[in-house]
Amino acid sequence: MADSEKKPTPENMTMMQAFEWYVPDDHKHWKRLHDQAAQLKATGVDNIWIPPGCKASSPSGNGYDIYDLYDLGEFDQKGSKGTKWGTKDELLALVSKANEVGLGIYWDAVLNHKAAADHKERCEAQEVDEEDRNKTVSDPYEINAWLGFDFPGRGEKYSEQKYHWYHFSGTDYNADNNKTAIYKILGDKTKGWAKGGDVDGEKGNYDYLMFADLDYSHPEVEADVLAWGLWLSKQITLKGIRFDAVKHFSEDFLRKFITSMDEEHGKGWFFVGEFWKDSLDDMSRYLERMGKKFSLFDAPLVYNFSQMSKTEDADLRKVFDNTLVAIEPVNAVTLVMNHDTQPHQALEAPIEGFFKPLAYALILLRSSGYPCLFYGDMYGIDPKGTAQSFPPACGGALPNLVLARKLYAYGEQQDYFDYATCIGWVRLGTWDKRWGCAVVLSNAGPGEKRMWVGEMHAGEIWTDVLGWEKGEVKIGDDGFGMFTCPGISLSVWVNKDAEGREKFGKFDADIYKS
C-alpha cells in the first residue's frame, strides 16, 4: 500500500493537572495558565485539567469546598467576586487562548456536596458510626444545621433553585450543641443514604464524605445539576470533565449526567473519575457499571510506584502487577502524583524524588494508558519556600520526557523486562512516525540492555534525548544496539538526527517569574 493510502498514526495524547494544593492565593492562576498555554501545547501537553472553578466557601478555597455551581467567579459571594484562581472573565480568556493553540480544557466537577450555607435550618437527624454509616449511635433528634443555600449574590440568574435541608442526605455539625458528628438526615422529604450499590460500600455506605451531602434521589437536586452541566458546556468550551469523589455519590445520577452531555453535544467527551481505592476489582466493576464510557485514575499504579521508591533494589519487572492499566489499558489514566493528600483521601503515599523520572518514563513512553502530569512536578510546588516546597521533578527534565512521548514513542512495543533492577523497552515507530525510541532504566547501578530497534535503523547514531547518558550508540546491521543508562536513572535513546531533536531543553518552568 502506498504511503498516501495509509491512515496517519494517531498522536499520543497527554493531559496535565494544571494546579496543586499550594498554588499562591493571589487570584492570578487563570492568568498564569493563559500565559503557559502555548508552551504546554508545544511541549506535548494536549489537555489540561483545571482546578474547580466554581465559587468556594471563601476567597482562598481550592474549590472542593464548593458553594455555588453557577458562580464561576462572576458574583460577589463568600467574600469576593473571583475564586482563588481568578474571575470568570479571566477564566474565559484562558479558555479562548487554549482553544487558539489547540489545548483542551477538562473541568473539575465537585458534585458530591455543598459548603458554607447561607443560613441554618432545623431538621430531624440521627448520628451514625464513623466506620459503619449504616449503624446508628443515637436516637433521632432535631438538629440545627447549616443547610440553607440562597445564593444572595447571584439571585436567580442561571438557576432559580435554592437548597434546603431536604435536598441533603447528611451533614457534620449541629449548631444547637456545637457537636461535630456524621448526621444522617431524616424525614418524609429525604431518603437517607444512597441505596446500596449506588455508592461505594466502604464504611458500610460511603455516601457521606464532607460538608452538606447532596441527595441525588431528590428530583430537584438531579434536575438542577443536570441543567448545570448543560449550562457549563455552553459557557465554556470543554473537552471533558474530571469528577471529584465519584465513589461517594450516585452512580445512577452520574450515568444520567454523562448521557445528557452526550445527547446535547455528541459523543467524544472525556470523562474521568476520582475513585481512589486500592481494590482493583472494585475499580474494574465500577467501569463495567459505567458502560466503559468512563476512565479512572490508576491508584494501584501509584501505590506500586510509592512502594518501589521506598524499597532498595525493588523488582521493576513487577511495576504493573495488579494495576488498572494492566487490565483496562483504554480506561486507565496513569499518573505519578496528584494534588490531594487530605486525610479523607487514600493518597498518602508520596513517591521518593529519585524514582519520579523512572515512574514518568513508565507512564509516558509506553503504549498503554492515558498519562496525566502533575503541575507540581512540571513547575515545582509553592514558590514561597514553606515546608511543602520542592523544585520541578526529574531535575527539570519532565518536559523532555513529555516531548519524547509526543515525537517518538510510537509503534510496536518490545519489552526487555529480564532483570529485576534494570528494565528496558523499544518502540519501533510507524510508517509516518518512524523514528522510534529505546528506553533503559535502573533503580540500582548503571544499566545496559542489548535491544533490537530494527534493521531499518542500521548504521544510525542514537543519543540520549535527556542528556543524562553521554556517548553514542551505533545501530548494527542486525538492528541491535547496546543501550545504557546511569545508576538510579534512565535514558531515552533516539536517532541523533531525528526530527524534533532541536526542541528539547526549551521549557521555561518559572511560571511565577521569580
- What is the Cα–Cα distance from 98 to 100, expressed in whole angstroms? 5
- Tell me which of 207 and 396 has the higher pLDDT: 396
Lookup: cell for 189:
422529604
Nearest to 350, CA basis, from 314, 390, 386, 318: 390
Each residue's pLDDT tens digit, 370-389: 999 999 999 998 766 565 67
Distance from C-alpha of 72 to C-alpha of 157, rounded to nearest angstrom? 12
Angle at 501 between CA 499 and CA 507, to 5 degrees: 130
**Per-residue pLDDT tens over the stretch 436-462:** 999 999 999 999 999 999 999 999 999
Domain 15-111+220-407 part of CATH 3.60.40.10: no
Cα separation, 366 vs 417, in Å, equals: 13
DSSP 298-322: -HHHHHHHHHHHTSTT--GGGTTTT
Q: Which of 274, 298, 328, 460 is catalytic?
A: 274
Q: Give the number of other Cβ atoms within 10 Å of residue 380's Cβ.
A: 20
Q: Which of 115-124, 314-323, 334-343, 492-501 has the lowest mean pLDDT?
A: 334-343
Residue tagged 464532607 (cell numbers) = 210
Q: Bridge-partner residues for 495, per DSSP?
A: 462
Cell of 414: 518490545
* Distance from C-alpha of 481 to C-alpha of 495, rounded to nearest angstrom: 12
Tell me, what's the pLDDT at 4?
64
Q: What is the pLDDT of residue 293?
A: 82
* pLDDT value for 278: 73
Q: 141 to each of 28, 83, 217, 254, how far by Cα in Å?
A: 46, 37, 23, 32
- pLDDT by residue (tens digit) across 49-95? 999 999 999 999 999 999 999 999 999 999 999 999 999 999 999 99
**What average pLDDT does the segment 8-16 reach?**
97
Q: Which of 90, 101, 10 is nearest to 50 (CA)?
A: 90
Q: Residue 116 — very low, low, confident or very high, per pLDDT cuts 50/70/90?
A: very high
CATH architecture observed for domain 114-218: Beta Barrel (2.40)
What does the pLDDT read at residue 387?
58
The pairing of beta strand 119-127 with beta strand 370-374: unpaired
124 catalytic? Reply is no
**219 Cβ partners below 8 Å, 6+ apart?**
none
Distance CA 145, CA 164 (A): 10
Task: Dig out the grid coordinates for 193 from the structure.
Answer: 443514604
Q: What pLDDT score was predicted for residue 343?
A: 29
CATH 2.60.40.1180 fits 411-503, yes or no: yes
To the nearest 10 degrees (0 to 180), the angle between helices 219-235 and 251-265 is 40
DSSP three-state, residue 441: strand
Helix (H) or strand (E) holding 285: helix 280-289
Q: What pLDDT digit, counting tens, does each position of 133-190 carry?
A: 999 999 999 999 999 999 999 999 999 999 999 999 999 999 999 999 999 999 876 6
pLDDT above 70 coverage of the chain, percent? 95
Q: Is the pLDDT of residue 280 over 80?
A: yes
**Average pLDDT of every residue of the chain:** 92
Residue 122 grid cell = 432545623
Q: What is the pLDDT of residue 341?
A: 39
Contact between 226 and 161 (Cβ < 8 Å)? no
Closest CA to 446 of 475, 479, 470: 470
User: Which pLDDT does position 342 carry in this prediction?
Assistant: 29
pLDDT greater than 60 at residue 344: no
Are 217 and 194 contacting, i.e. CB atoms less than 8 angstroms apart? yes
Parallel, antiparallel, or unpaired: how do β-strands 179-185 and 119-127 relate?
antiparallel
pLDDT tens digits along 462-471: 999 999 999 9
Rounded distance, CA 457 to CA 434, Å? 10
Residue 244 known to be catalytic: yes
Query: Rounded to whole angstroms, what are the CA distances from 480 to 216, 356, 366, 440, 461?
Result: 59, 28, 20, 14, 12
The amino acid at residue 251 is E
337 and 392 in contact (C-beta within 8 Å)? Answer: no
Q: Which of 215, 244, 251, 464 is catalytic?
A: 244
Domain boundaries, the chain: 15-111+220-407, 114-218, 411-503
The pLDDT assigned to 397 comes to 98
Is the pLDDT at 194 greater than 50, yes or no? yes
